Each structure stands twice: as C-alpha cells, then as structure tokens.
Amino acid sequence: MTKFVRFSLDRGIAPTAPDSHPGVRYGILQGEMIQETPSLFEYRPGTTHGLDAVRLLPPVSPSKIVCVGRNYADHAKELGNAVPTEPLIFLKPPSSLIAHGDKILYPALSSLVSYEAELGVIIGRRARNVRKQDWADYVWGYTCVNDVTARDLQKKDGQWTRGKGFDTFCPVGQWAVPGDAVAVSGLRVQGYLDGKLVQDAPVTDMIFDLGDILAYVSQFMTLEPGDLIATGTPPGVGPMLPGSSVRVVIDGVGALENSITTES
C-alpha cells in the first residue's frame, strides 16, 4: 500500500496550513522515512526525511469538505431519523481540519460530542456534472475521516453548520492511498472508542454509493482537485468525553487516532 503524506519540517505549523504555506510538503511514507514529492499529484522522488523529524498534517488541503449525512440506514434509524431518498449534503469548513494524533477540543458550548468514523474520498480532477458510471475517473484516492459532531447543537439548531463545524472537528489521515490500489467494495469502516469496537460496517451498506454521491454533488457544486468527501458513518455513534481516544480504521486505507481534551 503506497502511503502519501502531507507534512512540514516545522513542528509548530498549524494543521490548517494551506498548500501555499512555504513549509508544507508532500511525500511517500516508506517505513520510518518520507521520500518527498512535488505534490499529491506528482510522484517524482526527491529529498528523504525521517518520520520523527516532521509534523504530519492532514493528507490533503481541500477547498471544501463535502459530507453525506445518514448514508447508512441503521445509523439514520439509531438517531430516530427517516432514511433519506437522496443524498443529504452538508459542508465542514477547512478550519475544522486536524491531523492524526492532534487533539479534538471539546467545546464549552456543547455537552454531547460524538465520534463518526467515515471513509474519505479525495478528488483528483475538477468535477462538474459527473455521470454516475464515471465516478472513479474523478477520484484520486482515499483516507480516514472522523466527522466529529456536537449532537446537542445539531439538534438545537435544526441545521448542522455549528454542530459539525467547530475547530478540530474534522480529523483526517494519517495518510492517503491512491484509488487504483483500493477495491472500494471490499472496505469496512470501523470506529473504536477507548479501544472498544463501536462501529463496524462494510461500505457496501451505504445507501448512496460513490457514483451516486459524485453525480449528485457535481450537479450543483464544482469539485476541485484535493477536495474531500466524507461519505457517511455506520451505526454505533455515541458520545466522547475529555480524556477519551477515538480511532478510525479502514483496512486497505489506514487508521486515524485522536484524543479529546477540554477546550481551554
């Protein structure tokens, strides 16, 4: 499995730093070494760096994070919601991004923050009015996502921007894998809370598959290279508390782990 990472030699760099930041670099992770490449989309090998000498960043810097709500029937049911008849789309801001190992901040405004393990899809080229059968032509690859949610605020507001959009509410990574190396139909999304398996379902349980999602979204929104789609979470979501850790595992794609701390 080829693992593409985004990183910086500056350990103090923010996880939300865009690709235009002079400290941001891309590379291929090989054991404990990173072989630098010009970008996620260019594979010419360059300088080698030790993993212990860099700060891993989210593997992409999207212009937008497009999310699909209630895309597993049993998840919709566990929250008492109807199963949608078309993809339910919302956005997370890029300011919510953090990397593998970063802290999720439990906001003072919420008393019910939940984990949501998801498969992330990385767009490889500009996509508009995509035909369902052509979806794979527009996908660069995949990563792990945790769609962290302030459930109480989501319900209170009646729309999801605040409940889904806090800083640190979109952990992504720790790497990305190219699409031609992944058999999507064989993937399972698993979520662990403090080491206990709490979510586990195949992506084939999605109500709307990747073709449905790209065709639907690209009808009204142009997707750009590097944009991220979070494809929905399986059943088993639940609350997290400060001091807990949450782990997203998708065999064949990777793993993502973050701990939760109180917002200071």
DSSP string, 248-262: EEETTTEEEEEEEEE
pLDDT confidence of residue 80: 84
Distance CA 140, CA 59 (A): 12
pLDDT mean over 29-43: 94
Sequence letter at residue 85: T
Structure confidence at residue 166 as a pLDDT band (50, 70, 90)? very high
The predicted model scores a pTM of: 0.97
**65-262 to CATH, choices 3.40.718.10, 3.40.50.11540, 3.90.850.10, 3.30.450.20:** 3.90.850.10
In angstroms, the CA 168 to CA 44 distance is: 32
Q: In the chain, where does the domain assigned CATH 2.30.30 lie? A: 3-56
| Predicted confidence (pLDDT) per residue in 49-74, tens digit | 999 999 999 999 999 999 999 999 88
CATH number 2.60.40 given to 3-56: no
pLDDT at residue 264 greater than cutoff 80:
no
The b-or-e profile of 123-136 (16+ CB within 10 A means b, else e) is bbeebeebeeeebe
> What is the chain's mean pLDDT, rounded?
96
Hey, what are 180's tokens? 């031609």
Residue 45 pLDDT grade (very low, low, confident, very high; cuts 50, 70, 90): confident
State the span(s) of the chain assigned CATH 3.90.850.10: 65-262
Q: Where are the beta strands (DSSP E) in 101-175?
A: 103-106, 113-115, 117-123, 139-146, 149-150, 170-172
